A and B are shown apart, each in its own frame.
Chain A
Amino acid sequence: MQVTLKILRFDPAKDKKPHWETYQVEAEPWDRVLDLLHKVKWYQDGSLAFRRSCGHGICGSDAMLINGRNRLACKTLVKDLGSVITVEPIRGLPVEKDLIVDMEPFFAAYRAVKPYLINDEPPPQRERLQSPEERARFDQGTKCILCASCTTSCPVFWVNGTYIGPAAIVQAHRFIFDSRDRGKRERFKALASGSGVWRCRTAYNCTEACPREIPVTQLIEEVKREILFDHF
Chain B
Amino acid sequence: MAIKSKRYQEARLEASTNLELYWWVFMRISGLVLVFLLIGHMWMNAVLVDLNSIDYEYVAKRLSQTTWKVYDWLILALALLHGGNGLRYVLDDWVRDPAKRFWTKVVVYGLLAFLFFLGSLSLFNHDFGVN
Contacts and interface: CB of A to CB of B under 8 A. Distances in A.
Whether A associates with B in a native complex is: yes
Contact of B24 (A109, A155, A224): A224
A198 B24 contact: yes
> What's the interface size class on B, roughly?
20 to 34
Given A112-B2, A162-B3, A164-B2, A194 B12 contact: yes
A165 B94 CA distance: 16
> What's the interface size class on A, roughly?
20 to 34
Interface-central residue, A108, A161, A162, A201, by most chain B CB under 10 Å: A162
Interface string B52-89: 00000000000000000000000000000000000001
Contacts of A106: 2
Interface string B14-34: 111111110111000000000
B96 A193 contact: no
B118 interface: no
A43 B20 CA distance: 53
Contacts of B18: 192, 231
Nearest to B3: A162
A108 B1 contact: yes
A165 B2 contact: yes
Contacts of B94: 159
Given A193-B20, A198-B23, A224-B24, A105 B93 contact: no
A161 to B, nearest CB: 7
Interface in A95-148: 105-106, 108-109, 112
Nearest to B20: A198
A228 B20 CA distance: 11
Nearest to A109: B2
Contacts of A192: 16, 18, 20-21
Contacts of B89: 201
A227 to B, nearest CB: 6
14 contacts: A106-B2, A155-B93, A159-B94, A162-B13, A164-B2, A190-B1, A192-B20, A192-B21, A193-B17, A194-B13, A194-B14, A195-B1, A198-B23, A228-B24
Interface of B: 1-3, 10, 12-21, 23-25, 89, 92-94, 96, 98
